Structure 1
Amino acid sequence: MRRILDIIKKRTGSQAKSTIPFRLNLLFFIVFVLFAMLVGQLAYLQIVYGGKFQAEVDRTDKTVMTGSVPRGMIYDSKGRLLVGNSTENAISYTKSGSVSSSDIYTIVNRLTKYMSVEVDDLSSRDKADYILSAPGKSDKVTKQMPKSQRVNSDGDALSSSKLYNNEVKYIEKQGIHLNKKDLQRATLFKKMSAAYSLSTVFLKDKDLTSREIAQVSEHLTELPGVSIGTNWNREYPQGKSIASIIGGVSTEQQGIPDSELNTMLAAGYSRNDRVGTSYLEKSYESILAGTKSQREVQVGSNNQIKKSKLVYGGQKGGNLNLTIDSKFQKKVQADLKEQYDAAKSAGITQYSDGAYVVAMNPKTGAILAMAGIHNNPKTGKTSEDALGVINRTFVMGSAVKGATVLGALMDGVITPSNNTIADEPVYLPGTAVKKSVYPIGTFSSLTAEQALQFSSNEYMMALAMKEGHAKYVPKESLTLDSDIFSKMRGYFNQFGLGVKTGIDISGETTGIEGSTRNSSGQLKTGSALDLSYGNYDAYTLIEMAQYISTIANGGYRLKPYIVQSIQKTKDNGKKGALTSVTKPSVLNKVGFTQDELNVVRKGMYAAVHGSGYWTTATKLADISPSVAAKTGTAQSFYYDPDNPSSDPPETITTSLVSFGPYKNPNIAMAIVFPNLTSETGSYPNLLAKQIYTDYFKMTGQK
């Protein structure tokens, strides 16, 4: 038995000796192969992709922050500063990537030891956010809340957002009582928390005292992200007489308007950037904004800013030089106010919503002055509203008759040598007689020049009937070609009436066209006659100015503009090189001949200098040098916005278009006084006379 056991031990021992080393060797071999593969892969990554990985590390560690630069300034045509920037000392805060609410709470409580701020209009949520940001406060409130506000119906913990909302509600329910200093801290907390990662917000940039600057500067090491700098605000050294033309700039709190958000973010703006929100400030935003400064920031592993370096100081915004002389602009605004006040004193502005005037150079399209008054019929309070020139429409009346006559001349229904027409009223069935303001039979017939001089509605209706191949039986029927509206409007459009002028200010609207057919689908022939003498479609005043400029300059419809040139700013703040100069832009050439144009020019000259009781613009006759003009009167209605269902009272809109000097015009003008209760006073004529007198005196013309 022992012998058998010895034999088994010998055999087992020999097998163990031979098997164990083989397994170890196999294991060592496998480990060696894997290790070699790992070393090879590391070497491969280091050699082939090492540069790429290093760049990725550098990219994530280094971030470029942008900073705002002073906005470009705006000057008048004589180099006077209209809009500038006032620089103010400021305390700002740059938010780090991983800063917590409790970190901001700590900074805020330290900062208010050294400075005070005005309290914002804080909501209860804003106050609760500040309270809950105190270290440990959120956990403490959670423990105090009922279990039903900490877990859901299944007993599971609520999400962090839902739990926080319940904490806010709990705080609000308990009652929030903050003292004056706490309200200041809550204001700062709101501003700093709302900032985006690595963006800068201004905590205080008004009424910052030297003591506050000194104290904050001494403790910057304990106020991470806080710094001392400057901020700018728009100022108006010449007053705000054309502020509505210039437009506005958003505040830091307003930032980019929602309607422009995606576009401006794609262009490199930040959400809280101050940008132009209207008119010139908006239209020339890319010029005025300048180029932001760039600062390279190194961010540590904890997302805290470790080091920053200025790599580009930025470029201040470009300056705008306007076509407007601020002295002339002030005179125009003052003249408009004087005449409107006179209309008020006469008791005819009960339903009036204002008065407007625009003057432009008919040779170039440059705007010389633009002024407006908006009146609240219910309160009688007035305010400056120069933009009403481009964004309000009015039925202008006979002032458009120059376009009617030239349209008929181009259509061939009259000629410069054959344009005498019987001056007869039009009798349509079921409507009042359509006639001129003077008594029927005052004139047996009129030429085109006389029709403009005496402002004959009957003559203009006869032209429309000729263009529309009318079949007319007095008091029974009138038929016109179905295209009569489009034909007349087509001629009007060539002068700029009923189409946008293209002025370089955002917000321009266009005229309003009346309907061409009634509810039964029949052509509104009576309204076509009204259109011929300006008592149907509505136009903006800038359209009227473009129209009269086209007549004044020989037939070129020019694009109006208010920015004459764009100019850089030197490092010392002075004006630099011009980057662009606006040149006259011809939108179209109206297709009349010089002889046809002379008919209308002479008619408008006769309206000022002609004889006869019904000559319409004689109040301008003694202006030197002489001018030409066309007056307008239209029936209008005042619609009460608070009572739209009431019957609107009938009113009168008076207007005027003119140009001068007659032989070589360098100023064209359009004026409107809408919704007066009487046409007495000739306020557009008197205003034009004042403006021409001021302009010719300022420019030395005799």
Structure 2
Amino acid sequence: MRRILDIIKKRTGGQAKSTIPFRLNLLFFIVFVLFALLVGQLAYLQIVYGGKFQAEVDRTDKTVMTGSVPRGMIYDSEGRLLVGNSTENAITYTKSGSVKSSDIYQIVNRLTKYLTVEKTNLSSRDKADYILSAPGKSSKVVKQMPKSYRVNSNGEALSTTKIYANEVKYVEKQGIHLSDKDLQRATLFKKMSSAYSLSTVFLKDKGLTSREIAQVSEHLTELPGVSIGSNWDREYPQGKSIESIIGGVSTEQQGIPDDELNSMLASGYSRNDRVGTSYLEKSYESILSGTKSKREVQVGSNNQIKKSSVVYGGQKGGNLNLTINSKFQKQVQSALKEQFSAAKSAGITQYSDGAYVVAMNPKTGAILAMAGIHNNPQTGKTSEDALGVINRTFVMGSAVKGATVLGAMMDGVITPTNNTLADNPIYLPGTSVKKSVYPVGTFSSLSAIQALQVSSNEYMMALAMKEANAKYTPHSYIKMDSDIFSKLRGYFNQFGLGVKTGIDISGETTGIEGSTTNSSGQLKTGSALDLSYGNYDAYTLIEMAQYISTIANGGYRMKPYIVQSIQKTKDDGTKGALTSVTKPSVLNKVGFTNDELDVVRKGMYAAVHGSGYWTTATRLASLEPKVAAKTGTAQSFYYNPDNPSSDPPETVTNSLVTFGPYDDPNIAMAIVFPNLTSEKGSYPQLLAKQIYTDYYKLTGQK
């Protein structure tokens, strides 16, 4: 040691100097320089960019949110409310952009101190989501999970999504036991979590007490996103029997139907908007839904809602005024139920589909009433099915013969003054005789008027054979022009048979055409004859109503409609100014002459007021003012859906078309009782008679 000191002294001139103060000074100098640089940088940022950073802190984005408005109401032709809205207070939640599951968890637990909600059917996943959202719960579960739940076979960490799925799996394996209150919280948590960013959902909108409203209102500051609002539901002051015509509205949970999602989102709807899903509610959705309210929301840089203000209160949905008189509608429904019950008591409805009726103004196309009963042959239970009038098809039988006769006159094979034909049955090879209900030989010949009066099938087949230039040898041979089906159907179509009527209710179907050739490609001549008297193609009842209205009004095929006008809603909820009125629409004019039409009208009058045993619609003869009608009976079969391979039992379908008063028609009707086991009873005529009686009394016609 001494040796070392001697060497140092020699090199330093005899004195040893310490290096520690120099190192400390160097260190202090470096720290000073760094600190000075930091202060300079902070000063630079404060002076140059301070305003910019402050603006960023205070920055808000303005977002426009839309809100639903009360749906428009629906009234009958006399101004009676058919469909309205019942408004109730509601607790709502608007989800902010950056809210976390743990935040929702805390809001839910605070909210259930003041609010009781109905538990829903929660899946185990829903319950696990609620449990894992508790502050710190997720990280705690991750630590408890087996290593295989966190890393893969290579020791690499799993994705966040996969780890969370394993958290749920782990919690489910441990067993989930929630109290009644926790289940309520989990229900709210699910609703709030599933909401879209900045969208509003209803947490409770039924059975909300004044105490709950008061308590929630007092604590809104600790419940971010929660507010007091209102919701509506459809109500039916005149009863729900009209609902099958009106249609339905989706719930908030159902939202927009999947098949219309893209188009409605593009039109400004939200996914959870309540919209019309069927019939009038759907057809007039754009009118009934109104114009949404607009709320401007200011969202801060932390994605929390800072301010909200209404910029447009919205416009309530428009009101629909229908052509239907609800009093008459109820009378029609009651009469239909009475006659179907009578048929049921007679034991002839075991295979029946039900019964349907529609009445319309033949001059305008306005629907006056429509009602239907659907019968389930397996259970015998019945249900309201007014829409069966436009979406169910039936083989109607002889009720279409008016179109057959007028088609033949337009084709030129008969004329108003030369229309008497031999009344002979048709004998085709390999099939039973084609004839009328009365015995062969009852009539040697018939005029067109007489043929309609007694409903002669032979006469209609003779017309079809003339139109087809048929060559016929009884029992052995018949040949027809290949266009006979298109010719007959072409005339039928002019009256509305076999084509859509254009009624302003969504869901209308069209009639069903039978095949024109057999498996060998040969023309089905026998079926062409069946078509001529209504025993082949199937039609909807609204098509039948349009057809008889065309005969009643002089040849104009009118477009049926059920909405008479559209009306605004005032701020106080009352009806405002009319925005549109439906004008009668002529779809086409059928090309017959007045003389040709007169033949058919007289034939339908004779079917009611003519003499003789085989006159078909005499149960309507006592009505005043007088009416005209044409009955129909078609052979049909009941196919059991539970046993489709079994031989179907043979049934009959009874139908009726009618109009009145005869001299100046203002009501036309079509009625069908399908798949009865007996044609006895004349239920369509008895139903029509009651409806005429009620209608004449209601409208003061004598």
Q: TM-score, length-normalised on structure 2? A: 0.92
1:526 and 2:526 are equivalent in the alignment: yes
Which region of structure 1 is more displaced relative to structure 2, 557-566 or 153-162?
153-162
> CA distance change for structure 1 residues 487 and 259 in 2, over 3 Å: closer, same or farther?
same
1:38-79 deviation per Cα after TM superposition (whole angstroms, max 9, x unaligned)? xxxx9xxxxxxx9xxxx9999971000111100000000000
> CA distance change for structure 1 residues 56 and 550 in 2, over 3 Å: closer, same or farther?
farther
1:668-698 deviation per Cα after TM superposition (whole angstroms, max 9, x unaligned)? 0000000000011000000000000000000
> CA distance change for structure 1 residues 623 and 124 in 2, over 3 Å: closer, same or farther?
same
SS at match of 1:631: strand
Q: Aligned partners of 1:170, 1:77: CA distance in 2, in Å?
A: 63
**Aligned match of 1:67:** 67
1:280-322 deviation per Cα after TM superposition (whole angstroms, max 9, x unaligned)? 0000000000000001110001101000111000000000000
Instruction: State the one-letter code of the partner of 2:578.
Output: L
**Aligned match of 2:631:** 631
The 5 Å alignment of 1:91-130 reads 91-130=91-130
Q: Aligned partners of 2:102, 2:604: CA distance in 1, in Å?
A: 76
1:576-628 deviation per Cα after TM superposition (whole angstroms, max 9, x unaligned)? 00000000011101000000000100000000000000000000000000000
Shift of 1:425: 0.2
Shift of 1:644: 1.3
Q: Aligned partners of 1:404, 1:57: CA distance in 2, in Å?
A: 83
1:135 and 2:154 are equivalent in the alignment: no
SS at match of 2:187: helix
**Aligned match of 1:498:** 498
1:485 and 2:501 are equivalent in the alignment: no
Q: Aligned partners of 1:477, 1:183: CA distance in 2, in Å?
A: 79
- Percent identity between the two aligned chains: 87
1:146-183 deviation per Cα after TM superposition (whole angstroms, max 9, x unaligned)? 11111112211111111111111111111111111111
Shift of 1:90: 0.5
Instruction: State the one-letter code of the partner of 1:442.
Output: T
Q: Aligned partners of 2:509, 2:441: CA distance in 1, in Å?
A: 41
**Aligned match of 2:697:** 697
1:550-572 deviation per Cα after TM superposition (whole angstroms, max 9, x unaligned)? 00000000100000000001111
The 5 Å alignment of 1:17-28 reads none
**Aligned match of 2:347:** 347
Q: Aligned partners of 2:343, 2:82: CA distance in 1, in Å?
A: 31
In structure 1, stretches of 5+ residues that fail to align are 1-41, 43-49
Instruction: State the one-letter code of the partner of 2:602.
Output: K
Q: Aligned partners of 1:297, 1:57: CA distance in 2, in Å?
A: 17
**Aligned match of 1:549:** 549
**Aligned match of 1:459:** 459
The 5 Å alignment of 1:1-12 reads none
> CA distance change for structure 1 residues 56 and 481 in 2, over 3 Å: closer, same or farther?
farther
SS at match of 1:358: strand
Shift of 1:378: 1.4
1:307 and 2:298 are equivalent in the alignment: no
Q: Aligned partners of 1:690, 1:135: CA distance in 2, in Å?
A: 71
Q: Aligned partners of 1:163, 1:331: CA distance in 2, in Å?
A: 65
Instruction: State the one-letter code of the partner of 1:226.
Output: V
SS at match of 2:355: strand
Instruction: State the one-letter code of the partner of 2:284.
Output: Y
Q: Aligned partners of 2:260, 2:533: CA distance in 1, in Å?
A: 42
1:447-467 deviation per Cα after TM superposition (whole angstroms, max 9, x unaligned)? 000000000000000000000
Q: Aligned partners of 1:58, 1:470: CA distance in 2, in Å?
A: 91
The 5 Å alignment of 1:283-682 reads 283-682=283-682
SS at match of 1:242: helix
Shift of 1:656: 0.1
Q: TM-score, length-normalised on structure 1? A: 0.92
Shift of 1:411: 0.3
**Aligned match of 1:47:** none
Q: Aligned partners of 1:155, 1:605: CA distance in 2, in Å?
A: 93
Shift of 1:413: 0.4
**Aligned match of 1:46:** none
The 5 Å alignment of 1:158-177 reads 158-177=158-177
Instruction: State the one-letter code of the partner of 1:582.
Output: T
Q: Aligned partners of 2:60, 2:291: CA distance in 1, in Å?
A: 24
Shift of 1:144: 1.3
**8 Å contact from structure 2 (residues 72, 316) kept in 1:** yes
Q: Aligned partners of 2:56, 2:450: CA distance in 1, in Å?
A: 83
> CA distance change for structure 1 residues 58 and 83 in 2, over 3 Å: closer, same or farther?
farther
Q: Aligned partners of 1:648, 1:93: CA distance in 2, in Å?
A: 58
Instruction: State the one-letter code of the partner of 2:360.
Output: M
**8 Å contact from structure 2 (residues 57, 301) kept in 1:** no
**Aligned match of 1:217:** 217
Instruction: State the one-letter code of the partner of 2:511.
Output: G
**Aligned match of 1:267:** 267
**Aligned match of 2:22:** none
SS at match of 2:294: strand
Q: Aligned partners of 1:439, 1:550: CA distance in 2, in Å?
A: 33
**Aligned match of 2:36:** none
Q: Aligned partners of 1:639, 1:664: CA distance in 2, in Å?
A: 42
Which region of structure 1 is more displaced relative to structure 2, 168-177 or 535-544?
168-177
Shift of 1:138: 1.2
**8 Å contact from structure 2 (residues 446, 459) kept in 1:** yes
SS at match of 1:241: helix
List structure 1 runs of 4+ shifted beyond 6 angstroms.
55-60
1:465-509 deviation per Cα after TM superposition (whole angstroms, max 9, x unaligned)? 000000101000111100000000000000000000000000000
1:522-566 deviation per Cα after TM superposition (whole angstroms, max 9, x unaligned)? 000000000000000000000000000000000000100000000
Shift of 1:339: 0.2
SS at match of 2:269: coil
Instruction: State the one-letter code of the partner of 1:68.
Output: S
> CA distance change for structure 1 residues 585 and 148 in 2, over 3 Å: closer, same or farther?
same
1:366-403 deviation per Cα after TM superposition (whole angstroms, max 9, x unaligned)? 00000000111111111110000000000000000000
Q: Aligned partners of 1:589, 1:97: CA distance in 2, in Å?
A: 61
**8 Å contact from structure 2 (residues 461, 533) kept in 1:** yes
Q: Aligned partners of 1:143, 1:474: CA distance in 2, in Å?
A: 94
**Aligned match of 2:4:** none
SS at match of 1:606: helix
> CA distance change for structure 1 residues 455 and 181 in 2, over 3 Å: closer, same or farther?
same
**Aligned match of 2:16:** none
1:186-228 deviation per Cα after TM superposition (whole angstroms, max 9, x unaligned)? 1111111111010000000100001100110110000000000
SS at match of 1:129: helix
Q: Aligned partners of 1:126, 1:407: CA distance in 2, in Å?
A: 66
In structure 2, stretches of 5+ residues that fail to align are 1-47
SS at match of 1:291: coil
Q: Aligned partners of 1:682, 1:650: CA distance in 2, in Å?
A: 19
Q: Aligned partners of 1:201, 1:445: CA distance in 2, in Å?
A: 75
1:259-281 deviation per Cα after TM superposition (whole angstroms, max 9, x unaligned)? 11000000000000000000000
Instruction: State the one-letter code of the partner of 1:412.
Output: G
- How much is the aligned-residue C-alpha RMSD, in angstroms? 1.6
Q: Aligned partners of 1:121, 1:277: CA distance in 2, in Å?
A: 25
Shift of 1:642: 1.3
**8 Å contact from structure 2 (residues 60, 301) kept in 1:** no
Instruction: State the one-letter code of the partner of 2:495.
Output: F
Q: Aligned partners of 1:448, 1:109: CA distance in 2, in Å?
A: 82
**Aligned match of 1:76:** 76
Q: Aligned partners of 2:58, 2:594: CA distance in 1, in Å?
A: 72
**Aligned match of 2:146:** 146
**8 Å contact from structure 2 (residues 545, 657) kept in 1:** yes
SS at match of 2:374: strand
**Aligned match of 1:12:** none
**8 Å contact from structure 2 (residues 59, 301) kept in 1:** no
